[in-house]
């Protein structure tokens, strides 16, 4: 079993130095996208120092080579974490965030990118002026098959823990900006599949969430992305597992809202399973939907 403690080598981290924001980017087999992602960050216009920490998880393509080339080009901004063996998404995700030296952490996966060169400055300005907020976000475009779409707007611009649980989708990763000291790492956090959503829930326990109005990033939806590889049955099982662990972590404080979320989730995933003609998955979901009245978390057993 791999250790949860990950200390990057000194040669890969540069010579230290203070920074206000650490941008955390994990990447694996993103050679088609990683250059655009990195460029969108190193060209940020700020009145403060920031760093880009890249966790390159032993890609089988040229992603690592591209990252090394960019680190040489921007040695004062880019720090590389280059493990010798593949860590897996969640261990890489958590270790990379923990490696950040900034007061704030911004997120951008290696297959997404930012569209506003002042994104970091805008988010820092808000968070510095509002210490009671733990996280801020904003709308994000979705790019699929070379077509750019706007995502659903939030009903309001200040969100709570309950709001995150109620939503059938979380805040998109490329928009997330939070106080590093709000990032806790309970044991169950390492075992979930939806790391970005788990992070949002954990951080939201430390303060309010601000949803800024501007579109400032792009989420790239492609066949190799994690959200594209999970079928409706597995998505339901993994999300139920996460909600179960969060329910335990918060000592059932949000249990009623979590139960309502699970009920809605079954309806949505049954609809998709039927739409994609996944008959066995639809039948299993309908069965566990009925059993949810006895134990809403039984479907965890189908995580794959």
Residue 236: both structure tokens together: 């339901």
Whether residue 1 is contained in a domain is answered as no
Q: Please check whether residues 31 and 105 belong to one and the same domain.
A: yes
End-of-domain residue from the set 207, 226, 245 = 226
Q: Please check whether residues 45 and 134 belong to one and the same domain.
A: yes
Q: For 68-90, how does the pLDDT look when each residue is reduced to its tens digit (9 = 90+)? A: 999 999 999 999 999 999 999 99
Per DSSP, the three-state class of 106 is strand
Q: For 116-165, how does the pLDDT look when each residue is reduced to its tens digit (9 = 90+)? A: 999 999 999 999 999 999 999 999 999 987 778 887 667 889 999 999 99
Q: Please check whether residues 120 and 146 belong to one and the same domain.
A: yes
Whether residue 3 is contained in a domain is answered as no
Residue 28: both structure tokens together: 């694996």
**In whole angstroms, how far apart are CA 297 and each of 179, 237, 240, 262?**
31, 8, 6, 9
Confidence of residue 226 (pLDDT cuts 50, 70, 90): low
Over residues 35-53, the mean pLDDT reads 98
End-of-domain residue from the set 165, 197, 226 = 226
Whether residue 236 is contained in a domain is answered as yes
Q: What is the pLDDT of residue 167?
A: 82
Question: Crossing angle of helices 255-275/232-249, nearest 10°?
Answer: 170
Q: Please check whether residues 160 and 35 belong to one and the same domain.
A: yes
Whether residue 155 is contained in a domain is answered as yes
Over residues 269-291, the mean pLDDT reads 93
Q: Please check whether residues 216 and 131 belong to one and the same domain.
A: yes
Whether residue 115 is contained in a domain is answered as yes
> Of the ranges 11-15, 31-35, 238-242, 267-271, which one carries the lowest mean pLDDT score?
11-15
pTM above 0.75, yes or no: yes
Whether residue 280 is contained in a domain is answered as yes
Q: Please check whether residues 293 and 172 belong to one and the same domain.
A: no
Q: Please check whether residues 251 and 263 belong to one and the same domain.
A: yes
> Of the ranges 217-221, 225-229, 281-285, which one carries the lowest mean pLDDT score?
225-229
Q: What angle do CA 124, 122, 205 make, to 5 degrees?
A: 50
Q: Please check whether residues 159 and 32 belong to one and the same domain.
A: yes
Q: What is the pLDDT of residue 6?
A: 45
For the cut 60, the answer to whether the pLDDT of residue 3 exceeds it is no
Q: Please check whether residues 219 and 258 belong to one and the same domain.
A: no
Q: How far apart are CA 178 and CA 195, in angstroms?
A: 15
Q: What is the pLDDT of residue 227?
A: 52
Q: For 8-29, how does the pLDDT look when each residue is reduced to its tens digit (9 = 90+)? A: 333 333 444 589 999 999 999 9
Collect all residues with Cβ–Cβ distance below 8 Å to 72 and sequence separation of at least 6.
none
Whether residue 2 is contained in a domain is answered as no
Q: For 173-213, how does the pLDDT look when each residue is reduced to its tens digit (9 = 90+)? A: 999 999 999 999 999 999 999 999 999 999 999 999 999 99
Following DSSP, what letter does each residue of 67-79 receive, concatenated?
A: HHHHHHHSTTTEE
End-of-domain residue from the set 226, 259, 277 = 226
For the cut 80, the answer to whether the pLDDT of residue 242 exceeds it is yes
How many helices and strands in the chain, by DSSP H and E? 11, 12
Q: Where in the sequence is the domain holding 92, given as residue range(s)? A: 10-226
Write the CATH number for 20. 3.90.550.10
Q: Please check whether residues 21 and 130 belong to one and the same domain.
A: yes
Confidence of residue 1 (pLDDT cuts 50, 70, 90): very low
Higher pLDDT among residues 227 and 48, named by residue:
48
The answer to whether the beta carbons of residues 21 and 50 sit under 8 Å apart is: yes
Whether residue 5 is contained in a domain is answered as no
Q: Please check whether residues 24 and 96 belong to one and the same domain.
A: yes
Higher pLDDT among residues 304 and 301, named by residue:
301
Please give the tally of structural domains in the chain. Answer: 2
Following DSSP, what letter does each residue of 168-228 receive, concatenated?
A: SS---GGG-EEEGGG----GGGGG-S-HHHHHHHHHHTTSEEEE-SS--EEEE--TTSHHH
Q: Please check whether residues 219 and 76 belong to one and the same domain.
A: yes
């Amino acid at each position: 079993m791999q250790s949860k403690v990950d200390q990057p080598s000194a040669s890969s981290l540069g010579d230290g130095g203070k920074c206000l924001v650490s941008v955390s980017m994990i990447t694996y087999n993103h050679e088609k996208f990683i250059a655009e992602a990195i460029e969108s960050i190193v060209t940020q216009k700020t009145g403060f120092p920031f760093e880009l920490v890249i966790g390159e998880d032993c890609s089988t393509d040229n992603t690592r080579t591209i990252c090394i080339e960019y680190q040489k080009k921007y040695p004062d901004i880019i720090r590389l974490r280059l493990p010798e063996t593949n860590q897996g998404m969640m261990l890489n995700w958590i270790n990379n965030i923990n490696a950040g030296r900034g007061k704030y952490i911004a997120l951008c996966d290696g297959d997404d990118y930012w569209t506003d060169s002042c994104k970091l400055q805008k988010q820092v300005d808000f968070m510095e002026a509002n210490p009671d907020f733990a996280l801020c976000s904003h709308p994000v475009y979705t790019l699929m098959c070379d077509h750019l779409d706007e995502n659903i707007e939030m009903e309001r611009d200040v969100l709570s823990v309950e709001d995150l649980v109620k939503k059938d989708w979380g805040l998109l990763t490329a928009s997330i900006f939070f106080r590093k000291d709000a990032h806790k790492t309970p044991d169950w956090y390492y075992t979930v599949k939806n790391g970005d959503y788990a992070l949002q829930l954990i951080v939201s326990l430390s303060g309010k969430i601000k949803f800024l109005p501007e579109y400032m990033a792009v989420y790239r939806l492609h066949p190799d992305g994690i959200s594209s590889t999970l079928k409706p049955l597995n998505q339901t099982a993994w999300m139920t597992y996460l909600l179960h662990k969060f329910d335990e972590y918060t000592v059932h404080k949000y249990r009623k809202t979590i139960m309502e979320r699970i009920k809605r989730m079954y309806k949505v995933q049954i609809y998709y399973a039927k739409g994609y003609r996944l008959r066995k998955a639809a039948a299993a979901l309908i069965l566990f939907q009925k059993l949810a009245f006895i134990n809403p978390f039984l479907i965890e057993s189908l995580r794959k």
